[in-house]
Every structure is written in structure tokens, then in C-alpha cells.
Amino acid sequence: MNSITSTSYNFRKQTGKYEGKVRDVYFIDDKYIVMIATDRISAFDVILPEGITYKGQVLNQIASMFLDSTSDIVPNWKIASPDPMVTVGYKCQGLPVEMIVRGYLTGSAWRAYKSGVREICGVKIPDGMREHQKFEHPIITPTTKAEIGDHDEDISREEIISRGIVSEADYEKIEKYALALFERGTVMAADRGLILVDTKYEFGRRPDGEIVLIDEIHTPDSSRYFYSDGYQEKFDRGEQQKQLSKEFVREWLMENGFQGKEGQKVPEMTPERVKIISDRYIELFENITGHKFDPAPYTDDVFERIEGNVENMLARLL
């Protein structure tokens, strides 16, 4: 075994389970959730056929660190992380929008811009910009939170409010939170010699009505990082930036004729390709946290380890 791509548990007082693209979420007593970060990997809203060794642990531990280090900005759903691949937290009602904050013109925004688009999600982009160029101020390009199997869709702030997807007061609150979180993430990345290029945030509502940060934050699945060293030189020469994010997976897929469209086939994910992707995830972990990655081994009892750690945590909560 070199990855965990599915889980099947029946925890105490479990009331349901939801399988996302990457995470398995167990609902407990209608109050709590157990979120297991599996080693599944998705791109273009498609779950790829092979798991990535240690990816779940990397995502869970990075997100856990950033949830702790931003809780002074906005409260979040986390209670504890009892296992390297697990976070336990409060069950929240998710708001149906994702707040994507962009500090640079890159990725899908650049691809749209290069095709002639000059307005993204109601935000006007000036002429004459180049790939990987920094915006004067970070911009927010929200998307609707898709139902299972559907694609997220770009949407403007004005449309979100006019359609009643989120109230104006709530939108202003999560907009403020998102920009403050991005600023904190930018500072923390800079301290590690990185640039936080863009990221997404999700928010939800606790039973008491309080809006909180949910899901992951500042991980390579939800964020894009460049190395600070060499950024300006590469930009001046029109070269690609060295980056730590899932974008390199998307680029590999596109080079091999896959963008998630009907009839397209995922290229073969050889053990060598899986290791390359795994190594990149570990590289980001060590760069962004400043700590050596300590892999939790995939031994015969890994599923029992996770179950035991979760059950011990639930015994203290229930």
C-alpha cells in the first residue's frame, strides 16, 4: 500500500458520510464532522485514477497549521487534528460560493485573458498585462459552489447579491475575511521565501449563525505559490515561474491532451509520475511550514490507526 484513496468507517454516533473529490467527511451526532484527507487527487473537476503517496497528510497538516495561525482573523471549524490525515471540527452549513483571491495574473485567469477576456467575475483587468504579473491590489473572482459532479461557475459579486445567493451583509463580511486571510498568507509565505499567488476560501455558518472559515486553507490543492527568489528575473525574461501548487499537474495533463472534457482520456499515471507529484507536495510542505516532513507510514494497521485516533477524539467530545 502506498496511498489511501478510500475509507469506510462507522464511527460512534455517525449520522452520514460525504465523499468529496479529495476528502471523506463523516457526520457525527449532527454536531461534528470528521474530515479525512485521502490521497486522491483531482484536476479539472475529475478524480484521477491513482492516489498520491502522502498527499492527504500534507494537505491536512498544512491546512491545520494555517487554521490555527489565522483564527484571530476569522473563527474556523477546526476542533483538533487527532491523526496526520484527519481533522475533527464543527458541522457548518456551507455558503454556496467560493472566494478566490488572486494576487497575480496566472493560471485560468491568464488563459482567459490571453484569449481576449478583460473582465473576470465582474472585475475589469487592464490591457497590457503579462502572464504572472502582479495585480496592483489582490482581486476576488468568486465562483458558485457546485453540486456533486458539476463544475464551479464564475460569478460576479453583484450577481451573487442580486440573486440572493448570499446576502450583501454576509458577502461584505466574507470579502473582508478573504482579503485579510490572503494578506496573512502572503506575509507567512514571504517569511519562507515564497509568493502566495492565488487561493480559495470557503465559509460556512455555525448553528448559532456565526460565519466561520471551513475546509482547507493555503494548501497546494487550494493555492498557488511561486518562489520569491528569481521571480522578477523570470518575469522580465518572460519565462515560466518555478511554482509549488497543483498547477504543474494540470499542465502535465494538458500537455497530454486532457482538460476534463468529454471523450478525453487521463494519461497514464506511472509510479514515476506519482512519485514526482508526491515529491512536489512534500517540497511545498517543507517550504511553507519550515518543518521537515515526517511521513506517517502506510503500514498494515494504518486504517486501524486512523480509526483509533478518531474514536479517542470523539470520546472526549460526545
pLDDT per residue, tens digit, the chain (318 aa), is 789 999 999 999 999 999 999 999 999 999 999 999 999 999 998 999 999 999 999 999 999 999 999 999 999 999 999 999 999 999 999 999 999 999 999 989 999 999 999 999 999 999 999 999 999 999 999 999 765 445 578 999 999 999 999 999 999 999 999 999 999 999 999 999 999 999 999 999 998 999 999 999 999 889 999 999 999 999 999 999 988 778 889 889 999 999 999 999 999 999 999 999 999 899 889 999 999 999 999 998 999 999 999 999 999 999
pLDDT on residue 148: 47
Domains of the chain listed by start with CATH number:
95-245 (3.30.470.20)
For the chain, the DSSP string reads -----------TTEEEEEE-SSEEEEEETTTEEEEEE-S--EETTEE-SS--TTHHHHHHHHHHHHHHHTTTTS-BSEEEEEETTEEEEE--EEEEEEEEEEEEE-HHHHHHHHTT--EETTEE--TT--TTEEEEEEEE--EE-PPTTSPPEE--HHHHHHTTSS-HHHHHHHHHHHHHHHHHHHHHHHHTTEEEEEEEEEEEE-TTS-EEEES--S-TTTEEEEESTTHHHHHHHTPPPPEEETHHHHHHHHHTT-SS-TT--PPP--HHHHHHHHHHHHHHHHHHH-S---PPP--TTHHHHHHHHHHHHHHHH-
Q: Quote the pTM value.
A: 0.90
pLDDT on residue 150: 52
